[in-house]
Amino acid sequence: MPREQKQVRELQEGSYVMMDDSPCKINHYSTAKPGKHGSAKARVEGKGVFDEKKRSLSQPVDAKVWVPIIERKQGQVVSVSGDDAQVMDLDTYETFTMRIPEGEDFSSDDTIEYLEYEGQRKVVG
Amino acid sequence: MFPGATADRDAASYVVVGAPLDATTTFQPGTRFGPDRVRRFSETYDDYDRRTDSHFSALGVHDAGDVAPWDDTREYLDHLAAELRSVVLDGAIPLALGGEHTVTYAGVEAVTPDTLVVVDAHLDLRAEYAGNPWNHACVTRHALDVVDRAVIVGARTGSPEEWDRAAEDDVEVVAPEDARGWLDDLDPGRFADGSTYLSVDVDGVDPGFAPGTGTMEPFGLHPREVRDLVRTVAPHAEGFDVVEVNDRDDGQAAALGGKLLREFVHSHAAGSSA
């Protein structure tokens, strides 16, 4: 599994964390400041990298959480057919089909950047 | 725990969050005791509400405890907003117990409503108070950075600058003496379009009924007027709070705050299932 364990205190806005078994990009991280009682708890908010769903978690800062190792890769558009594009990974030369994101305009030979995690891919806008 | 708030968090439709902020109170402090005091003085209420034919404990209310504050008020509000937003993300309604009125900003930030309906003796439209822009006297002005419109019911005092701000199109002020007529004429569907957040600063009520608050202002609303406002707005509201309750009375302010929270839940649940 392309993921690693980290302590909650190591998370930061802009990094990734698994929430509800989905890789999420963190857009809010804050820590409660306890007085004499209770342990410092963090509130982490994020958005699913692939499903864009907002999620939230609260854990003590020394708790362990899973952090997905999301690869940033480069590919070349081989062909375009309707809303789908055939893309070749420029490292592995693997060819796959991906949905063209709304608002993006792909043409053959375009070089694109995309995120990949466990078979899920998303074009970096 | 708020009496009757027996639901598990995962199954909750309503989540009580205590926010005992007591950082910028300007006369009598004590809002740090507000959440626990409201819980305590709500112990005597019957679980059953005859008007809505519902049991409070059957409506899916969970008490998440308090989010304890610290010295940096702005940072605390940011964290509190995230806590309340997690309730919203779970598809539940946040019910915040203040704490000073400043905590309403976190609720508004979490819910991002179109309209803020606020019961308050004060306009709370100051840009700053005693050099602090996050003083409790500024909360409605900050909320207007998020909401399109604020309706302030029960307001009877403010600075000249606040009254000027209140005269703008995005603010409606209902004076205590006009509240009953305004309520009687209020179209129940007025808040049905768009989202609404309802905040009850207990000092909006006449201090004869709710003396346990930091800045008492005579000639205020009657409890039944606030109750009727809560009943009207609750079915369309996506967030609620009761704020500015302190411990400087025999429980009158806390008892009223707790009862209004229950009224909100019963009315919201009845409205949602209607």
β-partners of residue B48 are B55
DSSP state letter for B206: -
Which chain A residue lies closest to B74 (C-alpha atoms)? A30
> Residues of B with CB below 8 A from A35's CB?
68, 70
Nearest Cα of chain A lies from the Cα of B56 at a distance, in angstroms, of 27
- Predicted local distance difference test score (pLDDT) of residue B263: 98
Q: Note if the bond before B99 is cis, omega within 30 degrees.
A: yes
**Cα–Cα distance between B88 and B80 in angstroms, integer?**
13
> Which of B83, B84, B109, B112 should we substitute to test contact with A (largest number of A Cβ atoms within 10 Å)?
B83
Instruction: List residues bridging with B97 in a β-sheet.
Output: B18, B242
**For position B188, what pLDDT does the model report?**
79
Give yes or no for a contact between A69 and A99, defined as CB atoms under 8 angstroms apart: no
Q: List chain B residues with CB under 8 Å of A28.
A: 82
Contact A42, A15 (CB under 8 A): no
To probe the interface with B, which of A20, A33, A52 has the most B CB atoms within 10 Å?
Answer: A33
A64 vs A13: CA distance, rounded Å: 17
**Rounded Cα gap, residues B139 and B144, in angstroms:** 9
Query: Nearest-CA neighbor of B20 among B262, B245, B252?
Result: B245
B88 φ, ψ to 5°? Answer: -60, -40
User: Which candidate, B18, B59, B22, places its Cα nearest to that of B267?
Assistant: B59
pLDDT value of residue B13: 98
Nearest-angstrom CA–CA distance, B210 and B227: 14
Judge residue A39's burial from the number of C-beta atoms within 10 Å of its C-beta, 0-12 exposed, 13-18 middle, 19 or more buried.
exposed
Share of residues in chain A with pLDDT > 70 (%)? 98
CB atoms within 10 A of CB B48: 13
Residue B204, Cβ density class (10 Å: 0-12 exposed, 13-18 middle, ≥19 buried): buried
The residues that bridge with B44 in the sheet, in sequence order, are none
**CA distance, residue A43 to nearest chain B CA (Å):** 7
pLDDT tens for each residue of A26-70: 999 999 998 888 788 999 999 999 999 999 999 999 999 999 999
| Closest chain B residue to A31, measured at CA | B79
Of A33, A35, A43, the CB nearest to B82: A43
Mean per-residue pLDDT over chain A, rounded: 94
Tell me the C-alpha distance between B109 and B134, whole Å. 14
- Between vectors from CA B254 to CA B252 and to CA B259, what angle results, nearest 5°? 95
pLDDT tens track of chain B, all 274 residues? 999 999 999 999 999 999 999 999 999 999 999 999 999 999 999 999 999 999 999 999 999 999 999 999 999 999 999 999 999 999 999 999 999 999 999 999 999 999 999 999 999 999 999 999 999 999 999 999 999 999 999 999 999 999 999 999 999 999 999 999 999 999 878 998 899 999 999 999 999 999 999 999 999 999 999 999 999 999 999 999 999 999 999 999 999 999 999 999 999 999 965 4
CB contact under 8 A, B89 and A31: no
The reply to whether A40 touches chain B by the CB within 8 Å rule is: no
Asked whether the beta carbons of A116 and A69 are under 8 A apart, the reply is no
**CA of A59: which chain B residue's CA is closest?**
B83
Closest chain B CA to residue A42:
B79
| DSSP codes, A80-108 | EETTEEEEEETTT--EEEEEPPTT----T
The confidence score (pLDDT) of residue B185 equals 95
Identify all chain B residues contacting A58, using CB atoms and an 8 Å cutoff.
83, 86
As a whole number of angstroms, the distance between CA B212 and CA B29 comes to 10
Instruction: Tell me, yes or no, if A43 comes closer than 8 A to chain B by beta carbon.
Output: yes
From first CA to last CA, the distance across chain A in angstroms is: 26
Q: Count the alpha carbons within 13 Å of B85 in the hemisphere toward its beta carbon.
A: 25
